[in-house]
Amino acid sequence: QVQPVESGGGLVQPGDSLTLSCTAPERAFSDLNLGWFRQCPGKAREFVASITWSGEITLGADSVKGRFSISRDNDKNIMYLQMTNLRPEDTCVYFCAAGGSKSLAHTYAFWGPGTQVTVSS
């Protein structure tokens, strides 16, 4: 059983950067594919990025390409989502997911509770 936990969310201003982290205190997830999804107010859950256990990256919507990047450190059992040039429309709850395939949310078996990111001046 894997219980991902996100951290690093908060309130930032437009143009700021923020890095989210995901770890799993109970079990190493170095052998699992990992992903970031987000749910923004009034919208369906959206795929942000994924990274396989070996480091292959898939990015999501065009709106985040060039601004968001994903990485992982298997030795530290942690995954990151680096977000730059944040916009108000990035205000969402961000979820870490483990054990799935790329953008296919239904394939991820394990989900974190989410961390709120608010971008506002």
Q: Say which residue, 28 or 69, is predicted with more confidence.
A: 69
Give the residue among 57, 46, 34 at the shortest CA–CA distance from 91: 46
If you average pLDDT over residues 12-20, what whole number do you get?
A: 98
Q: Is the pLDDT of residue 25 over 90?
A: no
Q: Is the pLDDT of residue 61 over 90?
A: no
DSSP helix, strand, coil percent of the chain (3-state; round to 5): 5, 45, 50
At 88 the pLDDT is: 97
Alpha-carbon span 96 to 110, nearest angstrom: 8
Residue 44 pLDDT greater than 90, yes or no: yes
